[in-house]
């Protein structure tokens, strides 16, 4: 009889998509923690794990795939820290860099930093771009997935789905930022397609979807990183009073 797989997070507290949004919002608006601070802490935690996956030594070649949102912003922070650690870093961005900069926000700040550092940022806007990026990343020691975050809902299509499928075919170790791109935060199932990560650094707590045994095929080993959100706030998220309010 085949033994059923069980998730390593079945008995732990987990966060839903809405709880993640709420934690970030309250941390920023009520506690005065800058979104840049949270992004810095998240990206640095992932960079440290990336160094571990590279064997702990300085150097190595890393391909970082970034979207235009805050998950991509985390990826820009990862790029900076890995470059400072001696790695040869190449960033692949799924939109025009100028669009991210014009949009502003925390991701734009961190993109601007790595551009001023002289890191190579390659824009992927079509299938030819995907092919070139995959050819480059096939030589990397590690791929970092910072394309899509916990807020992703609905089927992943078009450029993103094609890119995700291409990354899965490269056959290199992949580190996921918060959760694999394309994996539903709440169900742990792919939204049409999802990156298959070797390891995932998730922030604050595991996500609800990680309780689904099938999610392990996409998350790989999960590491939980503290990004500086006050413990009081996190504990309060699971208080009986807050749970009652969320149901009203």
Q: How much is the mean pLDDT over the chain?
A: 92
Task: Classify residue 9: in a domain, yes or no.
Answer: no
pLDDT of 240 reads 63
For residue 147, give Cα distances in angstroms to 34, 173, 183, 216, 243.
22, 16, 11, 19, 31
Phi-psi region of 243 (alpha: psi -120 to 50; beta: other; left: phi over 0): alpha
Mean pLDDT of 76-97: 97
Residue 81 has pLDDT above 80, yes or no: yes
Residue 9 has pLDDT above 60, yes or no: no
- CB-neighbour burial class of residue 102 (10 A; exposed 0-12, middle 13-18, buried 19+): exposed
Task: Classify residue 100: in a domain, yes or no.
Answer: yes
Number of domains present in the structure of the chain: 1
Q: The domain containing residue 190 runs over which residues?
A: 17-238
pLDDT of 58 reads 87
**CATH number of the domain that residue 42 is part of:** 3.40.50.10260
Task: Classify residue 10: in a domain, yes or no.
Answer: no
Task: Classify residue 6: in a domain, yes or no.
Answer: no
Task: Classify residue 152: in a domain, yes or no.
Answer: yes
Q: 38-69 pLDDT, tens per residue? A: 999 999 999 999 999 999 878 899 999 999 99
């Amino acid at each position: 009889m085949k033994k059923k797989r069980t998730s390593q997070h079945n008995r732990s507290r987990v966060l839903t998509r809405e709880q993640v949004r709420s934690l970030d919002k309250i941390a920023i608006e009520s506690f005065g923690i800058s979104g840049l601070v949270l992004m810095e802490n998240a990206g640095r935690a992932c960079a440290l794990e990336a160094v571990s996956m590279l064997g702990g030594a300085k150097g190595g070649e890393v391909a970082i795939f970034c979207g235009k949102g805050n998950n991509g912003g985390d990826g820009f922070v990862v790029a900076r820290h890995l470059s400072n650690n001696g790695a040869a870093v190449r960033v692949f961005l799924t939109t025009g860099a100028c669009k991210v900069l014009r949009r502003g926000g925390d991701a734009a700040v961190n993109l601007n930093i790595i551009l001023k550092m002289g890191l190579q940022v390659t824009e992927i806007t079509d299938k030819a771009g995907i092919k070139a990026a995959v050819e480059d990343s096939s030589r990397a020691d590690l791929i970092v997935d910072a394309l899509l975050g916990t807020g992703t809902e609905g089927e992943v299509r078009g450029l993103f789905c094609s890119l995700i499928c291409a990354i899965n075919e490269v056959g290199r170790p992949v580190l996921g930022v918060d959760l694999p791109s394309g994996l539903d935060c709440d169900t742990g199932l792919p939204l049409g397609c999802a990156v298959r990560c070797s390891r995932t650094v998730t922030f604050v707590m595991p996500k609800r979807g990680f309780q689904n045994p099938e999610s392990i095929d996409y998350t790989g080993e999960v590491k939980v990183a503290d990004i500086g959100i006050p413990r009081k706030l996190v504990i309060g998220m699971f208080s009986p009073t807050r749970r009652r309010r969320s149901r009203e």
